Amino acid sequence: MDYRETYFGKYKNYPIREYILDNDKNLIVKILSLGGTIREINYKGKNRVLGFNNVDDYINLRTYFGAIVGRVAGRISSRLIRIDGVDYKLNQNEGTTCLHGGQEGFAFKAWEFEESKISDNSVSVTLKYISPNLESGFPGEVTVFVQYTVYDDDSLSIEYFARTDKPTPITLTNHSYFNLNDDLNEDILEHFLKIDADSYLKLDEKSIPVKVVSVENTPFDFRNAKMIKSDMDLSLETFKYTKGYDHPFILNGEKRIELYSKKSGISLSVETTEPVVVLYCSNKLEKDLLLSNGEKTFNYQGVCLETQWYPDALNQDFLPDNILKPEGEYYSKTTYRFKNISD
């Protein structure tokens, strides 16, 4: 097990550090203090996520590559949210929608180093961010800790902890774009995907949930592994605005997702405490952005598996909301386990 730190760049007056978690076997994870971002997941010598090699691209291009997303991940459909009879005006950074915590979202903040730990079978780093009262319009000062841990079984866990001094909605996730091929220049459309979900959320033209729908006999049925492209027919009404999968799935009990590249033999299994996963296949990724190792970006280059609470829960009476109160503590955990099936 090894832990290293390096200087990555500067954002405003903050030095941005890179923390490197290495299990001395097959997995090395590189994390930035900017946005708590996973910049690289190197598994068996190949990078398996999309990332940049400079601060400005993370800030200016707003792809959310690898970022911790919050205060509330996903879209909030209304400008006002009402909590205990008080209205709060949210920042609207996508038309009338508040996307991924608004313009002041957690992805674009300099997080503080809290601690790093090494044990016989793991190495971790914990980052901290204090979101001030009314940041992007959300009530309450929220103190967030995120702990990344790499284990000797080639898994990476992300644990989120938060407390608030006023009731506030909070949904945190990580926005990594996975590509399990040995070459990031190859798309993810032939990745096999399995999602343990009997239903998904149908979306309107602004990607706001309108109702819970069974996956039965729809392109959203991933209960048996299939290629992502198998049923992704872009001529279908359901993909008219999203240009592919960009949808929340309501996970069944064991909350598992499995992704696999036949080309490389690499698989990723995901377990989470969260009730929902948003599957986004980089349908709207800006073209020709320069990635860390010289590759250029293109649509369908990465799969995002954004485990989270129900999106827009505060505004949809058919979804349970997620208000964190001062007497409570927010906790969420998602584990990513990498394997090479030929091992």
Residues with catalytic roles: 175, 306
- By CB under 6 A, the count of residues binding ligand G6D is 6
Interatomic CA distance for residues 182 and 328, integer angstroms: 43
Q: Which of residues 206-245 bind ligand G6D (CB under 6 A)?
A: 207
CB of 173 to ligand G6D, least distance (A): 9
Cα–Cα distance list, 47 to 75, 97, 192, 239 (Å): 29, 33, 19, 30
200 lies in the site for ligand G6D, by CB under 6 A: no
CB of 158 to ligand G6D, least distance (A): 17
Cα–Cα distance list, 45 to 27, 90, 154, 234, 288 (Å): 8, 43, 13, 35, 24
Lay out the site mask for ligand G6D across 239-258 (x = CB under 6 A, - = otherwise): -------x------------
Nearer to ligand G6D (CB atom), residue 117 or residue 284: 284
Report DSSP state, residue 106. Answer: G
Nearer to ligand G6D (CB atom), residue 69 or residue 127: 69
Interatomic CA distance for residues 179 and 172, integer angstroms: 22
Nearer to ligand G6D (CB atom), residue 35 or residue 139: 35
CB of 242 to ligand G6D, least distance (A): 7
Cα–Cα distance list, 152 to 1, 2, 28, 149, 327 (Å): 8, 11, 11, 10, 36
CB of 328 to ligand G6D, least distance (A): 27
DSSP per-residue string spanning 187-234: -STT-EEEE-EEEEEEE-TTS-EEEEEE-TTSTT--SS-EETTTT--T
Is there a binding annotation on residue 260?
no
Nearer to ligand G6D (CB atom), residue 64 or residue 160: 64
Residue located via tokens 């941005």: 16
Interatomic CA distance for residues 23 and 9, integer angstroms: 25
Is there a binding annotation on residue 280?
no
CB of 121 to ligand G6D, least distance (A): 33
Q: Considering only residues 11, 52, 58, 64, which one is a binding residue for ligand G6D as defined by CB under 6 A? A: 64
β-sheet bridge partners, residue 46: 43
Sequence-distant (6+) residues with CB within 8 A of 85 are none
CB of 205 to ligand G6D, least distance (A): 12
Nearer to ligand G6D (CB atom), residue 19 or residue 64: 64
Nearer to ligand G6D (CB atom), residue 131 or residue 207: 207
| End-to-end CA separation in angstroms for the chain | 21
Residue type, 291: L
Sequence-distant (6+) residues with CB within 8 A of 152 are 1, 23, 25, 120, 121, 122
Is there a binding annotation on residue 19?
no
CB of 281 to ligand G6D, least distance (A): 10
- Report which secondary-structure segment, H or E, holds 262: none
Nearer to ligand G6D (CB atom), residue 140 or residue 302: 302
Is there a binding annotation on residue 247?
no
β-sheet bridge partners, residue 52: none
Interatomic CA distance for residues 110 and 13, integer angstroms: 10
Q: Which of residues 270-299 bind ligand G6D (CB under 6 A)?
A: 280, 284
Binding residues for beta-D-galactose: 175-177, 246
Instruction: Give the binding site for ligand G6D (CB under 6 A).
Output: 63-64, 207, 246, 280, 284
Binding residues: 175-177, 246
